[in-house]
Amino acid sequence: MSDFVLDPAFVATSHLVADLPLCEVRLQDDVRYPWLVLIPRQPGLTEIEQLDVGHRLQLMEEIVLAGAAVRAIGSALGLAVDKLNVGALGNVTAQLHVHVVGRRPEDPAWPGPVWSHSPASPYGPDALEAAITAAEEVLEN
């Protein structure tokens, strides 16, 4: 996986949280939603079907783990997570990535999609630290 290069769009819109066996995990920089992005660290991927079977299974396990981390982020920020949304879109950034988003009826985009709903509300330093710490505690255990 040494030829992996992260698309600069992720650097501009998210914060590194952890490296799992397959994916780099990043916190989307929008404090309104507990939201992680998983990016498999393999070069040139744009579709899940390009992963071999073992890596597809690993991706699913990492999505489930990220869901638990999203719930922990929500708890740390005082945002209940009533529903997890999981999506691999790639219409804007082609590099294979999977969004795991915590949703609740009170969130600004409910019940519609969070993508392109409204401009992001970036994390402040304290909330960012709390969110990353909460995610790390789940992802590293």
Which pLDDT tens digit goes with each residue over 32-54?
Answer: 999 999 999 999 999 999 999 99
Q: Which CATH architecture has domain 8-107+119-129?
A: 2-Layer Sandwich (3.30)
Which pLDDT tens digit goes with each residue over 58-99?
Answer: 999 999 999 999 999 999 999 999 999 999 999 999 999 999
The closest alpha carbon to 33, from 137, 112, 95, 104, belongs to 104
Report pTM: 0.96
Q: How far apart are CA 59 and CA 39, in angstroms?
A: 9
